[in-house]
């Protein structure tokens, strides 16, 4: 897994704000404001999708992240098409939609009152 690729993705998405990459499970989580909205696995970028922005991915012919070939587990992150990866402004549009999806689906923090 390439740290250089992760840094490149962060640079491309920097118009959204301070995007960072954190190593995790042999890949990277992509974060903005402490919220994960993307991941990199096998030097491929996947962005968070929900019912609102999933049609973007479906129309582009992308599929969801499948961490294991032999298990039917799918995650709510979808592969970013190669042509989107080459266009900075368009990648930022997709990244913003993914961040918005992450905001919509984030779990509320539990209170520590006891």
CATH value at residue 40 = 3.30.1460.30
Residue the block writes with tokens 């919509």: 104
pTM for the full predicted model = 0.87
In a domain, 73, yes or no: yes
Is residue 113 a part of any domain in this protein?
no
User: What pLDDT does 16 receive?
Assistant: 98
Q: Which domain holds residue 36?
A: 3-105
**Residue 106 pLDDT class (50, 70, 90 cuts):** confident
| 29 — pLDDT class (breaks 50, 70, 90) | very high
Contact 63, 78 (CB under 8 A): yes
Does residue 110 lie in a domain region? no
Q: What is the mean pLDDT of residues 43-50?
A: 95
Domain count, the chain: 1
* Total count of residues recorded for the chain: 114
For the four alpha carbons of 3, 9, 14 and 18, in that order, the dihedral sign comes to negative
């Amino acid at each position: 897994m390439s740290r250089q690729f992760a840094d490149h993705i962060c640079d491309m998405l920097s118009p959204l704000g301070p995007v960072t990459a954190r190593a995790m499970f042999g890949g990277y989580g992509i974060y903005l404001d402490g919220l994960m909205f993307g991941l990199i696995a096998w030097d491929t970028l996947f962005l968070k999708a929900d019912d609102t922005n999933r049609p973007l991915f479906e129309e582009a012919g992308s599929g969801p992240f499948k961490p294991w070939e032999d298990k039917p587990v799918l995650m709510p992150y979808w592969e970013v098409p190669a042509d989107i990866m080459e266009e900075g402004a368009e990648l930022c549009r997709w990244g913003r939609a993914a961040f918005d999806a992450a905001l919509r689906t984030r779990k509320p923090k539990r209170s520590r009152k006891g």
